Amino acid sequence: MDIKNTTKGFTNFFSGSSTFGKYFPQILTVFFIIFIFGYFTYNAQVNMDNRGIDFGLRFLGEEASFDIQFSLIEYSGASSYARAYLVGVLNTILVAVIGIFFATILGVVIGISRLSSNYLIAKVAEWYIEIFRNIPLLLQLFFWYFAALRALPLPKEAINFFDTAYLSVKGLYIPKFVWTNFDIFFYSIIASIVAIIFVFKYAKNQQEQTGRRIPSFFISFGIIVLLPLLTFLIGGVSLSFEYPVLTQLSKTIFNYIGGVAIIPELMALALALSLYTATFIAECVRAGIMGVTKGQKEAAASIGLTPGQVLRLVVMPQALRIIIPPTTNQYLNLTKNSSLAAAIAYPDLVLVFAGTAMMQTGRAIEIVSITMLTYLSLSIAISIFMNWYNKKIAIKEK
Partner 1 sequence: MIKTLNILGKPSRNKLSLFVPIGFSLFALAIIDVILSSFFEINITSILPRWLNFFTPILFGFVGLHYIRIEFSGNRILDKLNKNINSNWFNAILTLIIIFVLIKNIPPLLNWLLIDADFVGTSKEECSREGACWIFINVWIKRLMYGLYPNAEIWRINLSFLMLIGLVISAFFVPIKIKKYIIIFLLFVFPFIAINLISGGNFGLEWVETTAWGGLSLTFIISIFALLFCFPIGMFLALGRRSSAPVIRYSSIGFIEFWRGVPLITVLFMASVMMPMFLPDGTYMDKLVRVIIAITLFEAAYMAEVIRGGLQALPRGQYDAGKSLGMGYWRMHLLVILPQALKLVIPGIANTFLALVKDTPLILVVGLLELVGMIDMAKSNPDWLGFATEGYIFAGIVFWIICYSMSRYSQFLERKYKTDR
| Size (the chain), residues | 398
Alpha helices by DSSP H, listed for the chain, are 3-6, 19-51, 81-114, 119-133, 137-142, 182-210, 216-233, 264-291, 294-302, 307-309, 316-337, 349, 358-361, 364-393
**Type of residue numbered 52:** G
Taking the least distance from each CB to partner 1, the nearer of 262 and 342 is 342
Least separation, in Å, of the C-beta of 3 and partner 1? 5
Check if the beta carbon of residue 379 is closer than 8 Å to that of residue 336.
yes
Q: How far is CA 378 from the centre of its chain?
A: 10
Q: Which of 165, 132, 169, 129 is nearest to 147 (CA)?
A: 169
Q: Which is nearer to partner 1, 174 or 332 (CB)?
A: 332
Q: Does 178 bind partner 1 (CB under 8 A)?
A: no
Q: Does 194 bind partner 1 (CB under 8 A)?
A: no
Q: Which of 34, 57, 105, 147 binds partner 1 (CB under 8 A)?
A: 147
Helix (H, G, I), strand (E, B) or coil at 180: strand
> Among residues 90, 305, 342, 386, which is the contact residue for partner 1, using CB under 8 A?
342
CA distance 182 to 142: 39
- 365 part of the interface to partner 1, by CB under 8 A: yes
Q: How far is the CB of 395 from partner 1 (least distance, A)?
A: 21
Q: By CB under 8 A, is residue 345 in contact with partner 1? A: no
Other residues' Cβ atoms within 10 Å of the Cβ of residue 198:
11
Candidate list 19, 29, 240, 306; residue touching partner 1; CB under 8 A? 29
Q: Is 342 helix (H, G, I), strand (E, B) or coil?
A: helix
Interacting positions 112-141 with partner 1 (CB under 8 A): 116-121, 124, 130-131, 133-140
Q: Of these, 154, 253, 345, 376, which contacts partner 1 (CB under 8 A)?
A: 376
Paired strand residues for 241: 177
Nearer to partner 1, 199 or 269 (CB): 269
Figure out which of the listed residues 93, 343, 361, 386 binds partner 1, where binding follows CB under 8 A: 343
Bridge partners (DSSP) listed for residue 255: 247
Q: Residue 49 CB, nearest distance to partner 1 (Å)?
A: 9
The residue range among 146-154, 173-181, 188-196, 385-393 that interacts with partner 1, by the rule CB under 8 A, is 146-154
What HEC string does 20-71 produce? HHHHHHHHHHHHHHHHHHHHHHHHHHHHHHHHCCCCCCHHHHCECCCCCCCC
- Cα 239 to chain center, whole Å? 29
- Least Å distance, CB 210 to partner 1, is 36
Per rule CB under 8 A, is residue 234 in the interface with partner 1? no
Only segment of 36-44, 70-78, 189-197, 236-244 that touches partner 1 (CB under 8 A)? 36-44
Instruction: Name the site residues for partner 1 (rule: CB under 8 A).
Output: 3, 6-7, 11-16, 22, 25-26, 29-30, 33, 40, 43-44, 46-48, 50, 116-121, 124, 130-131, 133-140, 142-143, 146-147, 150-151, 336-340, 342-343, 350, 354, 358, 364-365, 368-369, 371-372, 375-376, 379-380
